[in-house]
Amino acid sequence: MNLRARGLFDRIFTVTTGLSVGLLTLVLLAVLGPMVYRGSGAVLFKGTVEFRKMQRDLFRRADEKALEAEIARTDEFRQTVCDMIYEFKKGIDIQGMSAEVRKIHRELGKELRYNEVPAERYTELRGLSRDIRDQLEGAFNSQEIEAIRETVAGVLAHRDNPGFKGTIAERYFEIASSFLQAAEQIDLSRHHDYAVALAETEQILFHSDERPGLLGPRPGESPPLLVMLRYGATRWDQAQALLDQFHRYVVWEEVESGEPLVRREKPRRELFAGTSLEPLFPYVEENIGAMLRPKFTVYWQFFIDDNVNSHYFGGVGPEILGTMLITVLGMLFVIPLGVISAAYLVECASENWVMRIIRMCINTLAGVPSIVFGLFGLAFFVLFLFPLLGFESKPCILAASMTLALLTLPVMIRASEEAIRTVPQSYKEGSLALGASKFRTFVTVTFPAALPGILTGVILSLSRIAGETAPILFTGAVSLGPTPKSIFDPTRTLSYGSYDMAVGDRLAMMVPHNQYGMVVTLIALILALNAVAIVFRSRVFKKLKGQ
Amino acid sequence: MKTALTGMILLSLMLGTVGQAETLQLEGSTTVGPIADAFAEYFKSVYPSLDITVKKTGSGDGAAALVDDRCDIANMSRFMKDSEFKKAVTNGIYPVAHVVAMDGVCVVVHPSNPVKALTKDQIRGIYTGKIKNWNQVGGPSMPIVPISRDTSSGTYETFEKLVMSKQAMASGVEYVNSNPQAHARVKTTRGAVGYVGLGFVDASVRALKVDGILPSRQTIASGTYPVARPLFMFTNGYPKLGTMVHKFCTFHLTEKGQELVEAKGFVPLTNY
Amino acid sequence: MNEDTNLTLTLEPAADTHRPLVLTPGQDLSGFLAAHLGRAALFFITCSSVLAVLLILFFVIYRSVAFLTSYNIAEFLAGKAWYPTAESPDFGALAIIVGSLYVSVAALVFAVPVGILAAIFLSDVVSWKVRNVIKPIVEILAAIPSVAYGFFAVLVLAPWMQRTFGFTTGTNALNAALILAVMALPTIISVAEDSISALGRELREASYSLGATRMETTLRVVIPAAHSGIIAAVVLGMMRAIGETMVVWMASGNATQIPQPWWDLSLSIRTMTATIAGEMGEAPEGSTHRSALFAVGVLLLVMTFGLNIVSEYFLTRAKKALGKS
């Protein structure tokens, strides 16, 4: 091959190696990028007035006066929305009205007995009431406006019956007349369709049994039991998604027989065309900003707050605390064990079969899968060692950190060994020549010189301890629990919490920003701890070089 | 730096508890877990000094913990097996089952799939690999992608017992670890069929009628829907009246408990 | 040692002028005992790792004995049917073993070229300063927890794969292999780079002085000289890939099948670690199923042990080769 070809190949080769590192950087960005972007939504987002209400109620932090003024303003709009819906509902809420007339009939009976009406009169009035109730129920379910008019007229004819004066039966007539009024305005053949469509719309606006809605519970409604249903959309992006659902509904239509259905989006307005509810849609569209008042929020308390309702609201404070406790305790176990083992292996050991066995064991430990560590931790530490030592035999931070220390022991030993080995012989020989014992030499000369390398081991172990999930599954992590009060309590952690939310119940699917927020917090915590240790290491390194 | 380090060490080594508090330990199924979570949060708001911990590692683990007397309540999405019962009795633990809710295993497909109903035989045929294309069951010509829960889940066991009639699944069936994953797979794959709990049926997947019955609260509660199962909480003996354990295990019978059960997407036992 | 070093422990200076040149028998004996007892203590602490490994081995084997004695080992290793919860359970782990190996080898196919090229880049091509800027990238890759990778695999990579390539499923062998490659890369890069750097300048200078280009030097001199260290790096990467639990559990699809045809990476497979992690929670205590899972654990340990021995062999060869030159 001639010189030029060789030079060309050489250049291509160099570029390829550079490209591989570029690929690495790209991969890092590709992995971290989307997650950091979505995770940042947990702290930086547009919060609505519902969010501020929730902060005031659950975490007691709010500007009372400003918030009250805001709520008063938004309540006006909500009241209008509620009124619109209520008006429409009167005509079509067949079940509600049927239930009410039945109740009136029962209550009337009780009232008559209470007033000690003579028996004949009682039977007569009760019979009349039953007729009225049945006629009204028939009218509710009817679809002929003429028949309804007739029935209601007939019912209203009994209005002046003296037996009904002052009793609950007067409600019959109120219901009948308002029903007639509403029925005049709507297309009765579509009762059922209207009812279904209205139920769906209400669920999006207020809340369903399982999901919160746009505006939160209706004014005057008793608050639902589940905390997340008590508030409307707390984030503007949530509100946008709900608005989308509000304005459009999805239907899968058959375009060709035998082919998959095609997705079509239709405006929900069409379902209520011609009724009194139709203006609701443009009204909501125009005024949603005034109803929710979104404002850019920096929710830094995400890192301090406890979570509410399985991470629907709130933050990851206790998880951060748990992770830090386990990490610190794990480091306390692994650093002495690792450094002492490495010191022995370098300083005192001779290359015989005992050493070979020890090295093989350390390497095997490095290869054991993390799930086996978790099972071993449960069986050995929790079920065997703790009762032996007199502790309570339950999973706790202590067991988890001991298991994790065992997991990262090989890494620590390897890094420390490398570090101690690279300390120049001249340092040791100089110290020994001055008359120091081997122990003193190690402690005062070798160890400080090897400190940067040992700190590399510390950094690597730190990352693994903070990030591992499988070993703590059985030995110390819980998915719900109080903040730990001592190291003999189990705890929530960021790693287990992230895993829990990724595979957990559908609540987690509703709050992707919290899912990603927790993972990103874990990554950020690990990187921050790494950065602290790296800075410390470079200071130590500089001091060593300076000497 | 040093003071911070010593401070952290002291904090970690803090022994002894700060004030005695009553504790309640729950362990077990990931399906029943959300109900336990919701109950626990409500109880914490009513009894602030109560410490409740919930672990969700699986029904088998919950049973093991109860048998070893390591927890107060075991959440399980299946009944205890013979071997677990025997071990419990030898340890002096007498497990008592409380049914807290019903769950329906709903067969779901992508919403673009025009197929609306399947019989149990057809579903079995799909999962054993005999039926491979949707056009064999009245749908468009698309290969079927069967999705199942992993063999260790209670949902899988219910499906296996009530639909598969103990026949083995084909080797090409894809296994996912959880309901949200199964839901996500079916939502994004046109030819997919999977089964999820009732609470995971929403607008982005469609539930099929099984033997002509559509899964809903009414059909599951009344027992007409063929693939339904009860969800259990096991305790050691019937809990003593008035203790926290007793309150927790009977909470589902109250109106508030039923409301919470419904809010989590399960079927309450009674119509309050 | 100047005043502002707060690194030294406060012991007396090394040259202890109070110690006489001639020791009394008492001092002599106590010095002897202290030195040897101290060594013994250190030895026992070091043996803690041996103790840990032995305990783990004992524990896993003990739990799996019930299964191994009652079930046909040949069927366990070579059977394809894994139905642990059926009426008459089948525990054929072949598909799972093949799955683990398949995903690990695929991960290495992706990771080894990139890793070695990157190691060469870091040791031979760039200056020390640039290397110290690039090393943090590798360290950050190593620091990201496996849960975060699993998250990424399921929520970002899988839908993207399904959209772009039209796979029937985004959680498959390819997904798991890619993520495992990313996780194994830092190990491979650091060990390979260490062994390539340790070769020293003389070898390279000799090659350059003969007129070789960088590529020729690297491919024909450096890599063959460091081949033991590189193989050790690859084996360590493989160990990391085989032992990883969380990522494969979330990203590989968990279908107990052997891919047909063998090169089809878009099919779901299941690994041994995912089987243990996924089924352990539900397997009743003391049942055959739990024992079988521990048996799978024994298999895993045997495999990693074997890989260990191989990597040890190559590392000692590398050290010996360096010692000679």
Q: What is the pLDDT of residues A262-308, one digit of tens each?
A: 888 888 888 887 777 888 888 888 888 888 888 898 998 899 888 88
Question: Domain residues for A288?
Answer: 47-62+197-300
Residue B12 has pLDDT above 60, yes or no: no
Phi, then psi, of B267 in degrees rounded to 5? -105, 120
pLDDT of the residue at B271: 59
Domain B22-102+230-263 has CATH 2.60.40.2480: no
The ranges assigned to domains in chain B are 22-102+230-263, 103-222
What CATH number should be reported for the domain holding residue C129? 1.10.3720.10
* CA A126/CA A108 separation, integer angstroms: 8
Q: Residue A372 domain-assigned? A: yes
- The H-or-E segment that residue A128 falls in is helix A119-141
Mean pLDDT for all residues in chain B: 83
Are A293 and A325 members of one domain? Answer: no
3-state DSSP assignment of residue A234 = coil
Residues contacting C151, CB < 8 A, separation 6+: A35, A498, A502, A515, A516, A519, C250
- Which of A268, A300, A332 is the endpoint of a domain? A300
User: Considering chain A, what percentage of its residues have pLDDT values greater than 70?
Assistant: 98
User: CB distance from B167 to chain C under 8 Å?
Assistant: no
Q: Give me the number of domains chain C comprises.
A: 2
Residues contacting C101, CB < 8 A, separation 6+: C242
As a whole number, mean pLDDT of residues B132-150 equals 87
Cα B182 to chain centroid distance, Å, stands at 14
Given A10, A470, A503, which is nearest C215 (Cβ)?
A10
Contacts made by residues B235-240, CB under 8 angstroms, sequence distance 24+: B235/B66, B235/B72, B235/B73, B235/B74, B235/B95, B235/B96, B235/B98, B236/B66, B236/B69, B236/B72, B236/B93, B236/B94, B236/B95, B236/B96, B237/B93, B237/B94, B237/B96, B238/B96
3-state DSSP assignment of residue B271 = coil
Given C85, C170, C257, which is nearest B151 (Cβ)?
C85
As a whole number, mean pLDDT of residues B1-9 equals 52
Q: Residue C13 domain-assigned? A: no
Decide if C246 contacts C179 (C-beta within 8 A): no
Residue C36: exposure state from Cβ atoms within 10 A (0-12, 13-18, ≥19): exposed
Interface of A with C in 81-120 (CB under 8 A): none
Q: Residue C14 domain-assigned? A: no
pLDDT of the residue at C3: 53
C298: left (phi over 0), alpha (psi -120 to 50) or beta: alpha
Angle at B9 between CA B5 and CA B15, to 5 degrees: 160
pLDDT of the residue at C325: 46
- The H-or-E segment that residue A540 falls in is helix A512-546
What's C282's DSSP letter? T
- Which of A171, A188, A205 is the endpoint of a domain? A188
Are A495 and A368 members of one domain? Answer: yes
Is residue B152 very low, low, confident or very high in pLDDT (cuts 50, 70, 90)? low
DSSP E strands: which ranges in A226-379? 248-253, 262-267, 295-298, 307-308, 313-314
User: CB distance from B175 to chain C under 8 Å?
Assistant: yes
Q: Which of A66-75, A184-193, C248-257 has the highest mean pLDDT?
A: A66-75
pLDDT tens string A132-153: 888 888 888 777 788 888 888 8
Closest CA in chain B for residue A401:
B12
Residues of C with CB below 8 A from A406's CB?
A: 52
Is residue A1 very low, low, confident or very high in pLDDT (cuts 50, 70, 90)? low
Q: And the tokens for A42?
A: 């947990």
Q: Residue C22 domain-assigned? A: no
pLDDT of the residue at C24: 82
pLDDT of the residue at B14: 45
- The H-or-E segment that residue A55 falls in is helix A49-59
Are C94 and C66 members of one domain? Answer: no
User: CB distance from B222 to chain A under 8 Å?
Assistant: no
pLDDT of the residue at B106: 92
Q: Residue C2 domain-assigned? A: no
Question: Domain residues for C172?
Answer: 82-324
Are A292 and A428 members of one domain? Answer: no
Q: Residue A406 domain-assigned? A: yes
pLDDT tens string C31-76: 788 888 888 888 888 888 788 888 888 888 888 888 888 888 888 8
Contact A495 C147 (CB under 8 A): yes
Residues of A with CB below 8 A from C156's CB?
A: 34-35
Residues of B with CB below 8 A from A397's CB?
A: 12
pLDDT of the residue at B195: 92
Q: Give the closest residue to C229 by CA, choosing from C295, C157, C320.
A: C320
As a whole number, mean pLDDT of residues B120-142 equals 89
| Fold held by B103-222 | D-Maltodextrin-Binding Protein; domain 2 (3.40.190)
pLDDT of the residue at C19: 61
- Which of C16, C49, C70 is the endpoint of a domain? C70
A329: left (phi over 0), alpha (psi -120 to 50) or beta: alpha
Are C233 and C307 members of one domain? Answer: yes
Choose between B188 and A43: higher pLDDT: A43
pLDDT in tens, chain C (325 residues): 445 555 656 665 555 556 667 778 887 888 788 888 888 888 888 888 788 888 888 888 888 888 888 888 888 888 887 877 766 778 888 889 999 999 999 999 999 999 999 999 988 888 888 888 888 888 888 889 988 998 888 888 888 888 888 777 778 899 999 999 999 999 899 888 888 888 878 888 999 999 888 888 888 888 888 888 888 889 888 888 888 888 998 888 787 778 877 888 888 888 999 888 888 777 777 778 888 888 998 888 888 888 888 888 887 887 787 765 4
* CA A430/CA A436 separation, integer angstroms: 9
Are A139 and A204 members of one domain? Answer: no
Q: Which residue has 């008592």 as its token pair?
A: B96
Q: How far apart are the first and last CA of chain B?
A: 60
Contact C84 B172 (CB under 8 A): no
User: Structure pTM?
Assistant: 0.83
Residues contacting B175, CB < 8 A, separation 6+: B147, B148, B149, B150, B151, C253, C254, C255, C256, C268, C270
3-state DSSP assignment of residue C258 = coil
Q: Residue C231 domain-assigned? A: yes
Cα dihedral C179, C183, C184, C186 sign: positive
3-state DSSP assignment of residue B235 = strand
Interface size between A and B, measured as CB pairs under 8 A: 140
Q: How far apart are the first and last CA of chain A?
A: 52
Q: Residue A422 domain-assigned? A: yes
Contact A504 B17 (CB under 8 A): no
Contact A227 B52 (CB under 8 A): no
Cα dihedral B157, B67, A393, B43 sign: positive
Decide if C278 contacts B153 (C-beta within 8 A): no
User: CB distance from A281 to chain B under 8 Å?
Assistant: no
Are A113 and A236 members of one domain? Answer: no
Contact A485 B34 (CB under 8 A): no
Percent of residues in chain A assigned helix, strand, coil, to nearest 5: 75, 5, 20
Mutation site, A357, A361, A417, A440, interface C, largest C CB count within 10 A: A361
Are C121 and C263 members of one domain? Answer: yes
Contact C11 A13 (CB under 8 A): no
- Give C166→chain B minimum CA distance, Å: 10
Is residue A257 very low, low, confident or very high in pLDDT (cuts 50, 70, 90)? confident
Q: Residue C19 domain-assigned? A: no
Residue A52 has pLDDT above 60, yes or no: yes
pLDDT of the residue at B109: 93
Decide if B175 contacts B108 (C-beta within 8 A): no
Give partners of B (≥3 CB pairs < 8 A).
A, C
Q: Give the closest residue to B29 by CA, choosing from B121, B154, B124.
A: B154
As a whole number, mean pLDDT of residues B148-155 equals 76
pLDDT of the residue at A321: 92
Are C86 and C55 members of one domain? Answer: no
**Amino acid of residue B223:** G
Given A365, A448, A495, which is nearest C52 (Cβ)?
A365
Q: Which residue has 């903070």 as its token pair?
A: A466
The residues with which B25 forms a beta bridge, in sequence order, are B53
Are A360 and A486 members of one domain? Answer: yes
Q: Give me the number of domains chain A comprises.
A: 3
Decide if A45 contacts A235 (C-beta within 8 A): yes
Residue C28: exposure state from Cβ atoms within 10 A (0-12, 13-18, ≥19): exposed
Mean pLDDT for all residues in chain A: 85
Q: Residue C271 domain-assigned? A: yes
Contact C312 A360 (CB under 8 A): yes
Are A182 and A205 members of one domain? Answer: no
Q: Residue A34 domain-assigned? A: no
Interface of C with B in 152-211 (CB under 8 A): 154, 159, 162, 168-171
What CATH number should be reported for the domain holding residue A320? 1.10.3720.10
